[in-house]
């Protein structure tokens, strides 16, 4: 795309055509400034085929707000819409609507509540609640989902990968296989979800994280092609980066050439007073090679050097690698933990694309329309009971048990105050036979999940730093049952309705 | 991301840190302006788990060229790099290198040959061959792969989806579930690969295609919440868009409410002299509902109205829907073809994310280094023979049999001329026992696959329109064996080496 076209393609027209068709219809019916509420939520956790998530990590809000602040209909956008024609050649959009759109077509009337970024979130709980004039709240649907679905998807995958590493460093390496420019949103989400750094230079700069990376096979190949060999390549690298010397050892033969050459260069560096950083393994049996490499580096007097692993890693591959090291290391006279504790993970394709389930099923559904003095709940029924909407103006709370663990998320109507009750009835969202009653005294906390973010377009929320968002994720994961965090077949976290919301839903369905 | 940060995050720093580390090393060794060649190719077709591609559709080149033309190191990029520190707090990049980078750090020295967009392509055949000064050709690796991997992935998926529809219209609906801004690159690729239109307004405008779309459930829900009902919603839509009236009929009950109401409104439109367009089905058993809808629309005198299907469609789901209609339509007294021929497919998530395999394994590998007067081939060996590079300065040809069908792609060295030979030996890329000999007289054409695109940064290629690219795809698909186009377990297309390239490869491995 030419840079001059970017404003058109990434501005307010970054939405679906039907949002504009509906906006004009609302204008024509006098409904365009009618206050409505939309809930944004996802229906199910990512399911990677042979494994599946038991929770998600919320992400994307700040970049959505950035987009909303800038988005408006420019003269050129309006001119384009004026030129659109229907099947018989008549203009699709009329002038009165376009004049209104040019003047009022921004998000300054939108109020927005949301669950903060970094928090652990679950299906059916509104992550974002949009309240605003019908036409603009409708146009917002597509860009809101675009921003929030992707970052939540990637933050979730990153959190799983982080969980699999026993807390070791995770480097995001996905730019080359990422979905175009979404690479940058993906890096932000990966950092929120658990990656520590990225190889992507520009976005690391913007987000204030130092980018990471050393060298590729091509450097070694070039020295070999010029008749100088791998050792010369490593020496050149050590000369230019004596205090950042991390060498990729698999260009020729990892055990017979790469590691011995690396050790030779490390010894030269050591004699000059530098601390070699480590090696990277990018092919072959990474668990076996990590054990052998650890042993060779130990024997050579470099027990503190890191071993970076890369090559199609994800949470299951890392889990397998760690399991193999735990079982196999002793064969080579190495303590498994001494290998595991020096590992660093470079995770590319499978993180940035959320391999196995490359989209989050986030939706944005009309739940209430303001009429006279009241909010009228809006419903959409479905043949699948799980897809029938939870209607109305709602709030959401998280209930913690006596040990401080999250035990359920509860959806109720806005005028309910579960914290004031002695007993709370938790209804399954659609199965009438499933309910349980919790006593207030069995709960350590009832926490409202939403914060006010926008009030009629004005930011009323202190945006946290990414470090704050990361800390919030860690705090939420600490309060999550271990079974829910399992990588495979996780325990199902409860999301429930209050009795009052359940009754309203049944009444509307009837 | 704030708009002011975009230039940083999407400019020349949209690359990996190690490319810059290596570039400085090449500078330090006096190799930064040494001419080198990199091949860009993919190693395997997308594999969607239960099904897999037998070919890819090449895409992304024009947007890569747009990016390359603008990319250079700004003062602010240089200032950022100057501030980077290594582990002991010393600057990573020195001033002499940064001064060179500010002055010469662009792609004006790059020459590039490529297979044109829209062409059917296969593993191991270089899609793009980059020749240029080592430092900048190295920095180009990541952004080149980012641009070309994603669009080729999506064009390939779109082509499969198109193949599954028996040539009916495919609408791209994926913006809400797309990977952030990559939605726009995805739309371009989807159009190249076989989608006819997109719902995404901005990028449709930029690319010159009218965006498509009508209304969502929310419109009907709002009328219902306000006590006016589905029929009133449909009437409102018909009033505002009398010649574009396509109604979503599943908000309440497709067969009992949606279709009867749509028919009622269509009759009203007809009396006023308008032609109703059709209905959209977005949930339930789409095959069964399409049959029932077709019958109801036929009986009401609207046999020409379209039935748009949407909801998690992909090539296998569409194949199943068509198979079910072929088997089930007669039960309802409908000719299967009369249903199938009125179908239109709205394909969202599973197209824009290439569901099942969300990344193409494209790589960019050093194959030759210029030294003195000659190109020295560069190799990278691997434990997996399939991943050992095909070295050297190469050309690629497509061989067509007497019937005009593509029978193999052939890689050879740049000084070879297979078209001049009476017999061509085709060697398997790594299995020494697999070879065959083709006589020139058995071939209708030997077609060079690459065109010159950039000559030292200058565009020497007439960029085709997207319509031209689409036509090229269709022409290539016509010349592709049907077995290779199968959706499941496709026949394997042959990619071979010339005897001379095979000999060079063996010599270098030894």
Subunit contact B14:A201, Cβ cutoff 8 A: yes
Residue A176: which of B142, B175, B376 has the nearest Cβ? B142
Q: Is A48 within the bounds of a domain?
A: no
Contacts of A316 (CB under 8 A, 6+ apart): A50, A51, A164, A487, A488
Q: How do beta strands B406-413 and B494-497 pair?
A: parallel
Q: How many CB atoms lie within 10 A of CB B473?
A: 24
| More confident: B2 or B109 | B109
> What are B167-203's pLDDT values in tens digits?
899 999 999 999 999 999 999 999 999 999 999 999 9
Task: Give the tens place of pLDDT for each residue, B304-349.
Answer: 999 999 999 999 999 999 999 999 999 999 999 999 999 999 999 9
Q: Per the domain annotation, does A330 fall within a domain?
A: yes
A63 close to B (CB below 8 A): yes
- Surface of B (151-180) touching A: CB under 8 A: 151, 173, 175-180
CB atoms A146 and B178 under 8 Å: yes
Is residue A228 assigned to a domain? yes
For residue A51, tell me if it sits in a domain.
Answer: no
* Residue B218, helix vs strand vs coil: helix
DSSP H or E segment with residue A121: strand A120-121
Those residues with Cβ within 8 angstroms of residue B114's Cβ, 6 or more apart along the chain or in another chain: B61, B127, B128, B129, B450, B451, B453
Question: Which positions ≥6 away from A191 have C-beta within 8 Å?
Answer: A158, A172, A198, A207, A209, A466, A470
pLDDT of residue B391: 92
Looking at chain B from residue 378 to 417, which residues have their Cβ under 8 Å from any Cβ of chain A? 378-384, 387
Structure tokens at B154: 């999506």
E strands, A176-233, are 197-198
Q: What is the pLDDT of residues B89-143, one digit of tens each?
A: 999 999 999 999 999 999 999 999 999 999 999 999 999 999 999 999 999 999 9
Inter-chain touch A353–B358, beta carbons under 8 Å: yes
In a domain, A474, yes or no: no
pLDDT < 50: residue spans in chain A? none
With CB atoms and an 8 Å threshold, state whether B205 touches A80.
Answer: yes
Total tally of structural domains belonging to chain B:
1
Q: Does residue B509 register a pLDDT over 90?
A: no
- B163 part of a folded domain: no
Contacts of A355 in chain B (CB under 8 A): 358-359
Q: Find, in chain A, the residue whose alpha carbon is nearest to that of B89.
A: A243
Q: Is the CB of A16 less than 8 angstroms away from the CB of B213? A: yes
Six-digit token string for B406: 């593509």
Q: Does A461 touch chain B (CB under 8 A)?
A: no
Rounded Cα gap, residues B459 and A173, in angstroms: 31
CA distance A367 to A38: 6
Which pLDDT belongs to residue A348?
A: 96
Which residue reads 């890392």 in tokens?
Answer: A318
Contact B362 A219 (CB under 8 A): no
- The answer to whether the Cβ–Cβ distance between A24 and B205 falls below 8 Å is no
Decide if A150 and B20 are in contact by the 8 Å CB cutoff: no
Residue range(s) defining the domain that contains residue B299: 213-344
Residue A301's pLDDT is what?
Answer: 98
Q: Is A366 on the interface with B (CB under 8 A)?
A: yes
- CA dist., res. B38 & res. B54, Å (int): 25
pLDDT class for B412, splitting at 50, 70, 90?
Answer: very high
Which residue in B14, B203, B214 is closest to A21 by CB distance? B214
CA–CA separation, B153 vs A163, rounded Å?
30
Q: Span B378-382, mean pLDDT?
A: 82
Question: Which of A10, A63, A381 is nearest residue B202 as measured by Cβ atoms?
Answer: A10
Q: What is the CATH number of the domain that holds A256?
A: 3.20.20.70
The reported pLDDT for the residue numbered A386 is: 81
- Residue A266, domain member (yes or no): yes
Strands, DSSP E only, in A147-284? 170-172, 197-198, 246-248, 278-281
Which residue out of A76, A138, A222, A386 would a mutagenesis test of the B interface target, given it has the greatest number of B Cβ atoms within 10 Å? A222
> For residue B506, is it within any domain?
no
Contacts of A36 in chain B (CB under 8 A): 222
Residue of chain A with shortest Cα separation from B144: A176
For residue B63, the chain A residues in CB contact (below 8 A) are: 1
Contact flag B176-A145 (C-beta cutoff 8 Å): yes
Residue A5 is predicted with a pLDDT of: 94
Min Cα distance B296 → chain A (Å) is 21
Question: Please, what's the b/e burial string for A456-484 (b: 16 or more CB within 10 A of its CB; e: otherwise)?
Answer: ebeeebeebebeebbebbeebbebbbeeb
- d(CA B294, CA B291) in angstroms, rounded, equals 5
Which residue of B13, B94, B180 to mutate against A (max A Cβ within 10 Å)? B180
Smallest CA–CA distance, residue B159 to chain A, in Å, is 18
**A173 to B142: CB separation less than 8 angstroms, yes or no:** no
Q: Which residue of A has its CA nearest to B387?
A: A283
**Residue B296 burial by Cβ neighbours in a 10 Å radius (0-12, 13-18, 19+):** middle
- Would the CB atoms of B21 and A215 count as touching at under 8 Å? yes
Q: What is the ipTM of this complex?
A: 0.96
CB-CB under 8 Å, A186 with B218: no
Q: Does A463 touch chain B (CB under 8 A)?
A: no
> Which chain A residue is nearest to residue B392, measuring alpha carbons?
A225
In angstroms, the CA B311 to CA B347 distance is 7
Chain B environment of A236 (Cβ under 8 Å): 25, 28-29
């Amino acid at each position: 795309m030419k840079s001059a076209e970017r404003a058109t393609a990434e501005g307010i027209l970054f939405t679906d055509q039907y949002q504009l068709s509906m906006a004009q219809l609302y204008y024509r019916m006098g409904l365009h400034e009618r206050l409505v509420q939309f809930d944004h939520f996802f229906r199910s956790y990512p399911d990677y085929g042979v494994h599946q998530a038991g929770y998600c990590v919320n992400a994307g809000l700040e970049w959505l707000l950035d987009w909303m602040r800038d988005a408006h209909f420019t003269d050129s956008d309006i001119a384009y819409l004026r030129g659109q024609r229907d099947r018989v050649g008549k203009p699709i959009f009329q002038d009165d609507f376009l004049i209104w759109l040019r003047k009022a077509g921004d998000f300054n009337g939108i109020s927005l509540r949301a669950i903060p970024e970094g928090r652990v979130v679950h299906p059916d709980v509104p992550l974002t609640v949009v309240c605003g004039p019908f036409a603009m709240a409708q146009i917002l649907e597509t860009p809101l989902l675009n921003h929030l679905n992707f970052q939540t998807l990637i933050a979730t995958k990153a959190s799983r990968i982080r969980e699999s590493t026993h807390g070791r460093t995770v480097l995001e390496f996905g730019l080359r296989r990422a979905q175009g420019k979404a690479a940058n949103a993906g890096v932000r989400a990966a950092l929120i979800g658990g990656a520590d750094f990225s190889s992507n230079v520009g976005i690391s700069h913007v987000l204030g994280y130092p980018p990471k990376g050393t060298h590729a096979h091509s450097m070694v190949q070039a020295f070999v092609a010029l008749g100088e060999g791998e050792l010369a390549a490593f020496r050149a690298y050590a000369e230019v980066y004596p205090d950042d010397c991390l060498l990729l050892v698999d260009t020729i033969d990892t055990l017979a050439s790469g590691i011995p050459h690396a050790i030779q260069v490390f010894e030269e560096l050591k004699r000059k007073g530098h601390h070699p950083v480590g090696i990277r393994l990018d092919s072959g049996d990474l668990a076996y090679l990590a054990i052998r490499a650890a042993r060779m580096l130990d024997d050579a007097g470099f027990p503190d050097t890191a071993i970076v692993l890369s090559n199609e890693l994800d949470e299951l591959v890392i889990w397998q690698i760690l399991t193999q090291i735990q079982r196999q290391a002793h064969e080579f006279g190495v303590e498994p933990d001494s290998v595991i504790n020096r590992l660093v993970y470079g995770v590319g394709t499978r993180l940035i694309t959320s391999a196995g389930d490359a989209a989050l099923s986030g939706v944005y559904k009309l739940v209430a329309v303001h009429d006279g003095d009241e909010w009228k709940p809006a419903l959409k029924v479905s043949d699948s009971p799980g897809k029938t909407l939870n209607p109305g103006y709602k709030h959401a709370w998280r209930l913690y048990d006596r040990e401080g663990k999250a035990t359920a998320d509860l959806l109720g109507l806005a005028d309910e105050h579960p914290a004031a009750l002695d007993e709370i009835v938790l209804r399954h969202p659609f199965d009438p036979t499933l309910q349980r009653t919790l006593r207030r005294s069995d709960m350590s906390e009832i926490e409202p999940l939403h914060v006010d973010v926008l009030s009629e377009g004005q930011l009323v929320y202190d945006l946290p730093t990414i470090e704050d968002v990361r800390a919030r994720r860690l705090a939420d994961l600490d309060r999550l049952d271990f079974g829910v965090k399992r990588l495979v077949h996780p325990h199902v976290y409860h999301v429930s309705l209050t009795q009052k919301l359940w009754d309203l839903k049944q009444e509307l369905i009837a």
